[in-house]
Structure 1
């Protein structure tokens, strides 16, 4: 009962924060839409991101005051606000976003998440996603694409347009390469060759790099681990998550991945996919090591 009341109060506070921030954000976003002047639009974009950062700051402060969750940051992470990052993260739960916000907000430029298009219909938040120019991806089944081949590559075009709007501004692009949340059933169906991960999709990453890779300096390879089992967002609000481990590895971006043509050059596409697969293999090993170390702690 206490946990449910705590969760409801947390939701109410975040709703109030959202209502306060959404009005000014919409005014600036509409001005950006109406006035076709790029310098003005970029100033508007910075204004929208500033409001979003303050909204996140308020929500993080509320959650940290309400919750006992321990956010454990590991790895090598030397954040800067004057550069652009590409974040590659595993995906298990809505809590992943809270974990990323906890460790990244205020330390790196404001981030853009790749989201499912259906989220545009979430009340208030959908408007915020639109105002922030978040890439809203539409997933098609292989059967649908066979019937509608003209839809192939649509997500890549959405990625390109969203990234072009970021040009000239420090930005953190957050990508979940698996394209969906990990579940045992999905893992069993895919048989991906990883113990803790699904198969990564390289195409979206390549298009981000092709669009604004020349201004991205660093890749943040982030692995999120829930030692007590994968939670839901309600578990977070109800204070049922004792500990979250966030491991960050920081790599300089090799410019060879910026210059290639993923769509039309099969040799480059093969090399790029191999690079992402190797990153994922290393991530899988790190996640396994973290789980092993946690188990060892509990047996001491």
Structure 2
């Protein structure tokens, strides 16, 4: 009985937090469209980010007071809010997003995700995503693109336009290279060469790098692990069933060679970016294996004693 009560309490508090702050956020967001001059529009954008960060901090407080989850954050000690970052992370669950909030809110600029277009219709949150300039991606199946080849590359065009907006203020861009959440079924269907990851897609990150490369201070290579359990859903988190989340952050310098090229038309440059992504993913797969082994050993140690 305790778990459903915890989940209900957390849900109500998250909803209350959202209802209290969605109005001010949308009101300030209107300034981006009605205020004259770039300075005032930029001030409006900063105001929107401040409200969003406050919303995230209050969510963190709710989690801290009501949930037993330990957020085991490793690395990321020298982060700044006055520069831009590219976050590259594995993706397993909706819990990944609260994990990134725990690691980065008010330590880096407020982060931007590339979202599925359907999420714009989510009550309240869809409006918030719009106000925060989150880019909405419309994904097409291979079969659909075969029938409509004129739509090929639309996601990359959206990525390019979104990144132009990000040039105005410091930003943390989150890119899930797998393109979707990991499941054993997807892993088997892809015949992925990695143990704990789906195959990465280099195209999206290449266009982010091309648009923002000179603005980015570093790549934040994030590895998320849920030790001692399967991949938890969001209800498992808010009902107190996720004991620990490991958030491993590696700050990587960004080689200018990764954004000084034409990914679409230069085959050699495209291979260079793909090789960088493949190496990154190989190292991440190995790191997940080590983190899982360490967590399993730490759990077993008291029982052996």
CA positional deviation for 1:35:
4.2
**TM-score after normalising by structure 2:** 0.95
Structure 2 gap segments, 5+ residues each: none
Q: Report the secondary structure of 1:99's partner residue.
A: helix
Please list the CA deviations of residues 117-137 of structure 1 after superposition, one character each: whole Å capped at 9, or x if unmatched. Answer: 111111000000000001111
- Hey, what's the Cα distance between the residues in 2 that align with 1:28 and 1:156? 29
| CA-based RMSD | 1.2
1:103-122 pair list within 5 angstroms: 103-122=103-122
Which 4+ runs in 1 deviate beyond 6 A? none
- Hey, what's the Cα distance between the residues in 2 that align with 1:298 and 1:58? 31
- Hey, what's the Cα distance between the residues in 1 that align with 2:122 and 2:156? 23
Structure 2 match to 1:262: 263
Structure 1 match to 2:86: 86
Please list the CA deviations of residues 12-39 of structure 1 after superposition, one character each: whole Å capped at 9, or x if unmatched. Answer: 1111111111111112222212346333
- Hey, what's the Cα distance between the residues in 2 that align with 1:162 and 1:18? 25
Closer, same or farther: CA 87–125 of 1 in aligned 2, 3 Å: same
1:290 aligns with 2:291: yes
- Hey, what's the Cα distance between the residues in 2 that align with 1:299 and 1:21? 44
Closer, same or farther: CA 151–36 of 1 in aligned 2, 3 Å: farther
- Hey, what's the Cα distance between the residues in 2 that align with 1:43 and 1:261? 34
Q: Report the secondary structure of 1:294's partner residue.
A: helix
1:1-300 pair list within 5 angstroms: 1-35=1-35, 37-75=37-75, 77-227=77-227, 228-300=229-301
Q: Is the 8 A contact 1:67 1:239 kept in 2?
A: yes
**More deviation in 269-278 or 75-84?**
75-84
- Hey, what's the Cα distance between the residues in 2 that align with 1:258 and 1:38? 27
Please list the CA deviations of residues 39-61 of structure 1 after superposition, one character each: whole Å capped at 9, or x if unmatched. Answer: 32222111111110001111111
Please list the CA deviations of residues 111-163 of structure 1 after superposition, one character each: whole Å capped at 9, or x if unmatched. Answer: 11111111111100000000000111111111111111111111111111211
Please list the CA deviations of residues 46-92 of structure 1 after superposition, one character each: whole Å capped at 9, or x if unmatched. Answer: 11111100011111111111011011112454211121110000000
Structure 1 gap segments, 5+ residues each: none
Q: Is the 8 A contact 1:263 1:269 kept in 2?
A: yes
Q: Is the 8 A contact 1:77 1:250 kept in 2?
A: no
Q: Report the secondary structure of 1:173's partner residue.
A: strand
- Hey, what's the Cα distance between the residues in 2 that align with 1:73 and 1:188? 30
Aligned residues: 300
**TM-score after normalising by structure 1:** 0.97
CA positional deviation for 1:260:
1.0
